[in-house]
Chains A and B, each alone.
Chain A
């Protein structure tokens, strides 16, 4: 790959077609991710209808403060990501690197806070399995809530980890000056992915922390 002249892959007629194809490809992939998470949401909604009180009980054990902080962190990371994309569009190498680093840090902060939440759950014996313990009349169905809590936030966290990895790769390439106003497709495409992971959290947070609480 040459340094400054954007390479158009052999199957494309021109750079515009390459760019449009890449972004359409990422959108198509994100639609598959909607279906992937959708299955989890569908299962969750089926169960909350049948076990409203147990799920409310379970939700009350979630840390609303940490969850809210995480929401702010993630929204902030979407802002820094958008700024990174804009820097790439403008050919601003320092801007790209700064905002990518910020996004990575915010993403890692999110994962760290999530880790703290998970640790708390482990201490409180709220991890589903043989060691699950919850007092109260709804214990057995509340375990279902926590199964979904861990499955949904766990899968989300996995996507965040992949996202951070992608951003690290972008950072290296940004440092090498690969992204210019004529070619910034990878930044844009990874930006789409990052925004999507953020949007999933925007649905996850109310569903797990807010809705279930008042069911």
Chain B
């Protein structure tokens, strides 16, 4: 559950603890201004008209005013002229919010009823908490084991749904050390409201100390390599390409031509799908003989395999894009 101790008493505004928070707030403030001005204008006009033109005699018959094309055009075009820039501003900022920087640190998240499981690349696992260094971009790759959840950190102004059957991602760069609420914000059943925790933003040195100090399983790529062997993947996917399946070295992040003629990008989603439903997007030139591993592997296992495959380098040292 999100801790009840990190509150700081009555607040009227959330904190600005990420690089985008201030920008989102600026846009929000602009919207508040527009709202206040327009509502104020209408309130004042209605009030003034009700006062000035109040009925003074029962048999009053005001003259009809049918309308004015000029006015109609005016109050159509002016609002359009205000909302279109708002749209552009919002879309532009949204675009930036969906493009993680290339060197972002990767964290893997699995949501399930009713907790968050988070894993650092070095293998450190957390439940309902995420420790991150300040001033470093962090990209979360997330999936759900059951229903749709949503990863929401108000003080960072970020939110993204976590959907079973696919990966979604969100990124942030924290700008202030401290603790911030993590909420689940897509209703997911009985304990939806307590499925949360905190993000702990630390100075880099404190973060390093935390990493070494916290109990780590083996790192994700190492765990993935073991799983790769245990599930028999290495039988067909030999690194020298001599097996019945393609070598996976250096393939992550590249495009692959499929038997159907289409091209596909080898990303987390593609790898996951190919493990669970191998013939869905079969690489050209290979027979459709890979068995499915549905039911034989958990979401955690899938993330380990993905981390391992990502880490496979070519002979010339090129590595797949992180």
Q: Is B277 within 8 A of A53, CB to CB?
A: no
CB distance from B207 to the nearest CB of A (A): 41
Q: Digit string of A41-74 for contact with B (CB within 8 Å is 1, else 0)?
A: 0000000000111100000000000000000000
Can you list 9 A-B contacts (CB < 8 A)?
A52-B260, A53-B279, A53-B280, A54-B280, A138-B279, A138-B280, A140-B277, A140-B292, A141-B277
CB distance from A213 to the nearest CB of B (A): 16
Question: Is A130 part of the binding interface, using a Cβ–Cβ cutoff of 8 Å?
Answer: no
Q: Digit string of B292-312 for contact with A (CB within 8 Å is 1, else 0)?
A: 101000000000000000000
The count of residues in chain A whose C-beta lies closer than 8 Å to any C-beta of chain B is 8
Q: Is A140 within 8 A of B294, CB to CB?
A: yes
Q: Digit string of A139-158 for contact with B (CB within 8 Å is 1, else 0)?
A: 01100000000000000000
Interface on chain B toward A: helix, strand, loop, or mixed SS? loop
Closest to A52 in B: B260
CB distance from A130 to the nearest CB of B (A): 15
Q: Is A137 within 8 A of B288, CB to CB?
A: yes
Report chain B residues within 8 Å CB of A53: 260, 279-280
Q: Measuring CB to CB, which residues of chain A are less than 8 angstroms from any residue of chain B?
A: 51-54, 137-138, 140-141
Interface on chain A toward B: helix, strand, loop, or mixed SS? helix
Report how far A141 CA is from B278 CA in the complex, Å: 12
Report chain B residues within 8 Å CB of A138: 279-280
Closest to B290 in A: A137
Report how far A54 CA is from B288 CA in the complex, Å: 14
Report chain B residues within 8 Å CB of A51: 280
Q: Which of B276-294 contact A (CB under 8 A)?
A: 277-280, 288, 292, 294
Q: Is A137 within 8 A of B279, CB to CB?
A: yes
Closest to B288 in A: A137
Report how far A134 CA is from B277 CA in the complex, Å: 15
Known: A53-B279, A140-B292. 14 other contacts (CB 8 A): A51-B280, A52-B260, A53-B260, A53-B280, A54-B280, A137-B278, A137-B279, A137-B288, A138-B279, A138-B280, A140-B277, A140-B294, A141-B277, A141-B280
Report how far A141 CA is from B280 CA in the complex, Å: 9
Report how far A34 CA is from B280 CA in the complex, Å: 32
Report chain A residues within 8 Å CB of B278: 137
Report chain A residues within 8 Å CB of B277: 140-141
Closest to A140 in B: B277
CB distance from A175 to the nearest CB of B (A): 57
Q: Which 10 A-B pairs have the closest CB atoms?
A: A137-B279, A137-B288, A138-B279, A140-B277, A137-B278, A141-B277, A141-B280, A53-B279, A140-B294, A51-B280
Closest to A50 in B: B280
Report how far A53 CA is from B280 CA in the complex, Å: 8
Report chain A residues within 8 Å CB of B294: 140
CB distance from A55 to the nearest CB of B (A): 12
CB distance from A212 to the nearest CB of B (A): 15
Report chain A residues within 8 Å CB of B260: 52-53
Report chain A residues within 8 Å CB of B292: 140
Q: Digit string of B254-292 for contact with A (CB within 8 Å is 1, else 0)?
A: 000000100000000000000001111000000010001
Report how far A52 CA is from B260 CA in the complex, Å: 10
Report how far A137 CA is from B259 CA in the complex, Å: 14
Report chain A residues within 8 Å CB of B279: 53, 137-138
Q: Which of B181-203 contact A (CB under 8 A)?
A: none
Report how far A4 CA is from B24 CA in the complex, Å: 74
Closest to B259 in A: A53
Report how far A138 CA is from B294 CA in the complex, Å: 13
Report how far A198 CA is from B184 CA in the complex, Å: 48
Report how far A207 CA is from B127 CA in the complex, Å: 48
CB distance from A69 to the nearest CB of B (A): 33
Report how far A188 CA is from B294 CA in the complex, Å: 55
Report how far A140 CA is from B293 CA in the complex, Å: 13
Report chain A residues within 8 Å CB of B288: 137
Closest to A139 in B: B292
Q: Digit string of B158-169 for contact with A (CB within 8 Å is 1, else 0)?
A: 000000000000
Q: Digit string of B125-138 for contact with A (CB within 8 Å is 1, else 0)?
A: 00000000000000
Report how far A140 CA is from B279 CA in the complex, Å: 11
Report how far A137 CA is from B260 CA in the complex, Å: 15
Report how far A140 CA is from B278 CA in the complex, Å: 11
Closest to A51 in B: B280
CB distance from B265 to the nearest CB of A (A): 16
CB distance from A81 to the nearest CB of B (A): 44
Q: Which of B125-179 contact A (CB under 8 A)?
A: none
Question: Considering residues B260, B279, B288, which has the most beta carbons from chain A within 10 angstroms of its beta carbon?
Answer: B279
CB distance from B67 to the nearest CB of A (A): 32
Report how far A141 CA is from B281 CA in the complex, Å: 13
Report how far A52 CA is from B282 CA in the complex, Å: 13
